[in-house]
Amino acid sequence: MNYEFILSKETNFFYWIQAICEWSIYGPEMNSYRHYRQSAGELSEIQTASLKKIASILLSSDKPRLILAELYKGMLESKDAKQISDNAASLRDIFENLWQNIAPDLLYIKNKLEEVDFRQYTNRLTQIATFLDVERDEGNNIPVYILQNTLESPSVGHQIENTDFILLHPEMRANVKDLNTTIGTLLHETIHIMEFKSDLAHKLSKDSYNEVIKKIHKPAPDGMTWKMVYSEVITYCFINNVTGGYLRPEVFSKPRFKLENMVDSFNRLEIKKPSDIIAWIALNIQDEVGALLEEGGMFNISIANEISHLILRYF
């Protein structure tokens, strides 16, 4: 398994643009989005109008993230992507000043990640591919675009469905713990690439959702769909930055958390964010999933139903 780490000014620019135009709120990045908007400072009428137009284009599309994917990769094919690029031009001067401040730190982290031997995770990812009943494409490098992050924010990643790249916001504090957290995020998004391709996981999750959740009209958490929740639970089982997941020993050099040892910690959370609940549900099924992983088993309806009933209990 190989990654191509890319530090692109254009990718960072358009990610910043979509954040400050306020077209959508992505829960794990609320603090970062707030920071981006504050960093923009006072805008002119032209710049404000441009951001409103960009938000309108994204909100009127049924696949806004694929439009953004064109911008992130610098391959503008659609009319919408070209219009966003044109409207964003008025904000380039503001971003230029920001870029001069963040680029050196991002370059440092890029160089550190390029020193990591990711081949150590190949066997585990192959097991996960078997579990999800998908083929792994080991012949091509996975492009990873390194994006700005705040000092206070954890590592966050994105894998846009039907694309071949990862967006990675690394921890900005340069020490081993933070690099491991960034590696965990990167592996999490790599597993999403496989999970998005898994007809098995999608079918069984949908079947279970229709049987257990849909009939009671339970709304999904803000900013998410139930399809996203199932996807995250499956991926959290293997690696996450809350409980570590089944790969915690390999990535964080620490033993796996045991469910019974985490009950009090979970119950003490006064406000349980969706990511906390997803991590807790994943921890509930982690041992079962891990056993299947070790024996070469696959995702099955029993696991899908466990996820559904845990969703009803905790969301």
191 with 215, same domain: the answer is no
94 with 23, same domain: the answer is yes
pLDDT in tens, 214-250: 999 999 998 889 999 999 999 999 999 999 999 999 9
185 with 242, same domain: the answer is no
pLDDT computed for residue 38 by the predictor: 78
58 with 169, same domain: the answer is yes
Hey, what are 95's tokens? 């971003």
Q: The pTM is what?
A: 0.92
185 with 207, same domain: the answer is no
188 with 203, same domain: the answer is no
206 with 174, same domain: the answer is no
Q: Are 144 and 7 in contact (CB under 8 A)?
A: no
Percentage of the chain modeled with pLDDT above 70: 95
pLDDT computed for residue 34 by the predictor: 73
Q: In this model, does residue 26 exceed pLDDT 80?
A: no
Q: Using pLDDT thresholds of 50, 70 and 90, give the confidence band for residue 114.
A: very high
pLDDT computed for residue 305 by the predictor: 98
Q: In this model, does residue 30 exceed pLDDT 70?
A: no
Residue that is last in its domain, among 151, 168, 197: 197
Residue that is last in its domain, among 166, 197, 228: 197
Q: Using pLDDT thresholds of 50, 70 and 90, give the confidence band for residue 315.
A: very high
191 with 214, same domain: the answer is no
Calculate mean pLDDT across residues 46-57: 97
183 with 218, same domain: the answer is no
Q: In this model, does residue 176 exceed pLDDT 60?
A: no
208 with 295, same domain: the answer is yes
CA distances from residue 201 to 189, 206, 215, 265, 304 in whole angstroms, order as listed: 16, 8, 20, 30, 8
241 with 207, same domain: the answer is yes
Q: How many domains does the chain have?
A: 2
What CA–CA distance (Å, rounded) separates 249 from 152? 25
37 with 122, same domain: the answer is yes
Residue that is last in its domain, among 149, 171, 197: 197
Q: Using pLDDT thresholds of 50, 70 and 90, give the confidence band for residue 201.
A: very high
Which residue range(s) make up the domain with 88?
1-197
What CA–CA distance (Å, rounded) separates 191 from 128? 8
pLDDT in tens, 139-169: 779 999 999 988 878 889 999 988 999 999 9
pLDDT computed for residue 70 by the predictor: 97
pLDDT in tens, 203-213: 999 999 999 99
